[in-house]
Chain A
């Protein structure tokens, strides 16, 4: 299922927003969002429920008109999408919008036909079903398949017209962890085919699968960065965890803190410490040297990747948020 020829090269912004705002009365659901989504990336939009993710997607799919600011999707203003541009976009809604009395195949057929895919679409649809591993269930009515299958069919319906830009609104909500992982495998495969994906999710941990992540809270964009960039930003740098055979006392901790590569030291029990450094790869050799100078028996040392839940809380709550301990 390769993407149509003629798509632009990776790196160009497929989606651009500038001060994009949507207000419902006095409530600003989306407040001055500015970001870019380069072509061929998975762009994660992460935030708690009600933070404005779905509103952002609706603004970018042209369902909502912005109250302020600008957006450009595939080079067009979403509020005035041409039909041609709409056929290049796939939209998977938060809730399942399949017809329960129709079979898997009939649902897929309908989804492709409303995008004007020609009558010789059988091969393309079979490929899509194969991609989401539903081929053997094609004749089953949707009412008879599981919730997970429905979500996969929803994704297949979004892909049925071979779009180059996908807006997936919480595609993994309510899906078990194994299937969630599978979904992200599918997303990565789609990204590798050259498609661009904007995926919203409440599962902060899924940020790790994205190429770029935008963190939203109360309609505002807190930060857009790579997953690693977000971690660094949240904790003020990369984190190295070391453990020594001896006890690390305050004197040693102060000397550790005084090292040029180290920004912060968090002492833990059993001779463990987490250090915020500029760059883990350059800091680790220097720390090994320091432990030898201090005659400390180093049991382990390596980069520590805090869970994204902690990163997210840290980003939202600021320095007072989650501590490295």
Chain B
């Protein structure tokens, strides 16, 4: 019989043997398919994206004016805040926190006014009892949000008061208009004394308006300055209108002392009257602006350029698939050769015409076919049950899967040849899983790892697979041939190492 045919027969012996061994264990097959699927399904159904509520107890000094305010409004500050009451004893509040009765204690400081007057910020302390650093960060974020809300509310009160003051300016504007009319009449009747008197009156009216408007217009004025380096004159800005009025009154006083300019003076009085009307309108507009908009003129809005809005489950599916498929392959590979060695069949292979290459190729082929089928079934189930997004090409996804399986099986075979016992092989496989969970980007973003540690990440097949799956499934990008090449390189490298190790194992000693 021709040599190539014998080579194929020997390889096919392993393909059939491994397939029969796997299929003879229906429970194993069911566990392999349904296990990962159920894990993902449970995760999908069980995960809640709602922020975790924080049962919050307030410690407020007994004489604080904030007591009734917080009692009524605390829950409106932050979405996750659950108001659990208010006491004045800080130690008692901390004891309740330690015993788990509440999740956070907010301590409002005493003598806020004195502290601020001494040019210091009053500190609101938020206590928590979390040991999980991520949850502790969550509480910190909650604290920042809460304090911002408090500050914002205080500013809002100021703004509302400012708007209230703006309403009191309108009688002043009317008085100024009356003075203008009287001035106009005095000028028409050519009565210098009355003209001067009404001019002085108008001057006083403007000074009163300037003083009153100063605080109210501050907010809008600053906001306007933020918009441009060289802000254009805004015809509706009360401050600017007032400034213009001031100039006109001053020029009128100047002209009044200069004979022969009566016509220009009359024109100026008309313009003053028009400006006062504009000022009245502008003040009305200022009053109508929502006080919250005044103190928080900006609002953040995050939008994605992605074609679909991804849920957390959608985001994790590619990672779970990458890590699970890698783990399955590593475990299969890790157990396969060590099992042959433990059962004694390796000695039989040594005496037979089998080569290390044929053993490895046979096992590779059988497990590659089996795990590819497993991946297809798992993907199908996920698609049907969880409606996972697939924005890219199925062909590219399949290619990425095959590359992952090839690399992971190679890794498994190397571990199998390094292990002396089955339990060692299982341990190696579990270690590989743990490394993947922590360093593949599945659990923590790779950017959070130091560059030196990231070298480990790039030695794990799951890292590349995760990137590929995310790009193809979630971003709809074409397959990144560099990542595929990296997986093929890992597969080729580990296969070469496995072949050398198996050759040594099967070598005649």
Contact = CB atoms under 8 A, between A and B. Distances in A.
Interface of A: 58, 61-65, 79, 83-84, 86-87, 89, 91, 93, 95, 97, 99, 101-102, 106, 109-110, 113-119, 141, 167
B344 A97 contact: yes
A200 to B, nearest CB: 15
Contacts of A119: 9
B117 interface: no
B342 to A, nearest CB: 11
B365 to A, nearest CB: 14
Interface string B11-45: 01100110011001100000000000000000000
Contacts of A83: 353
Given A63-B508, A65-B508, A97-B343, A116 B353 contact: yes
Contact of A91 (B7, B12, B351, B354): B351
A110 B6 contact: no
B351 A95 contact: no
A113 B509 contact: no
Interface of A is mostly: loop
Interface string B328-366: 000000000000000111011111111000000000000
A91 B24 CA distance: 27
Contacts of B354: 114
Contacts of B348: 91, 93, 97
Contacts of A106: 16-17, 20
A89 B351 contact: yes
29 contacts: A61-B350, A62-B350, A62-B351, A63-B351, A65-B508, A84-B353, A86-B351, A86-B353, A89-B351, A91-B348, A91-B351, A93-B348, A95-B344, A97-B345, A97-B348, A99-B345, A101-B21, A102-B21, A102-B24, A106-B16, A110-B13, A114-B10, A114-B13, A114-B354, A115-B353, A116-B7, A117-B9, A118-B5, A118-B9
Contacts of A117: 9
Interface string B413-445: 000000000000000000000000000000000
Say what secondary structure dominates the interface of chain B.
Answer: helix
Interface of B: 1, 5-7, 9-10, 12-13, 16-17, 20-21, 24-25, 343-345, 347-354, 508-509
Contacts of B20: 101-102, 106
A86 B21 contact: no
Contact of B344 (A65, A89, A93, A141): A93
A38 B348 CA distance: 24
A214 to B, nearest CB: 20
Nearest to A121: B9
Contacts of B10: 113-116
B16 A109 contact: yes
Nearest to A90: B351
Contacts of B9: 113, 116-119
Contact of B21 (A89, A99, A115): A99
A113 B362 CA distance: 12
A84 B24 CA distance: 34
B324 to A, nearest CB: 24
A115 B345 contact: no
A116 B1 contact: yes
Contacts of A86: 351-353
A91 B349 CA distance: 10
A101 B13 contact: no
Nearest to A63: B350
A299 to B, nearest CB: 55
Contacts of A97: 343-345, 347-348
A119 B13 CA distance: 10
Nearest to B25: A101
Nearest to A143: B24
A98 B375 CA distance: 30
Nearest to A59: B508
Contacts of A87: 353
A99 B1 CA distance: 27
Nearest to A112: B13
Contacts of B25: 101
A87 B16 CA distance: 21
B184 to A, nearest CB: 111
Given A86-B353, A93-B348, A114-B352, A141 B509 contact: no
Contacts of A84: 353
A116 B6 contact: yes
A64 B349 CA distance: 13
